[in-house]
Amino acid sequence: MNLGVTQQTPFNNCIIFPGLFQAKTAEKAYFLQNCANSRGKILTDNEGKMDNEQKAQKEPKKFDWVTERSSCSLPKVFHTLLLQVEQDVKTRNALRPQNSPYEFSIEENGSDFKVVLAAGELRNLVIFTLAEHGILVRGGEGNQMFEVTLNFSVDGKCHLVVNDQQLDSWQVRRMALEELFFHGQ
């Protein structure tokens, strides 16, 4: 009796092709029982294709380390940080109560950008500066709060490093801006 079935070795897999399911019920039951008894894997043709697709997805993709390393440069990370801080400022301004006497803004100046809190005559700020070996973060009086350096790790990720601790971008922005954004709250 040929049911369009193959028995593969050395794994003893039983593969059921779609034609089998058109066979008589008794023949199908007989085959399934024998396949199960031989500890075979019962797959329809479509399931076999899915197994191959899953295997292809598990294979490691080629990693373009040159492009990834290039994006882990101080100027590129500084620019990304600027864009993220701009979004933080927009979000923080949107959270202010109506008729608030204060507002946050960004001032760009070449290799610096400032996040400014203006409230009447009061003006406080945090300054981000792109330096030769890092990104300096200073308070309004010019005192350095911390320096951000970069590390391209063995797993191909660009990490921001502050005080020998790897941080995500949001953590660096929080360290720099939390006091300015939420002083007194």
3-class SS of residue 118? strand
Amino acid at 87: Q
Is the model's pLDDT at 173 over the cut of 90? yes
Query: What pLDDT is stored for residue 132 in this prediction?
Result: 96
pTM of the model: 0.67
**DSSP code of residue 96:** S
Is the model's pLDDT at 105 over the cut of 80? yes
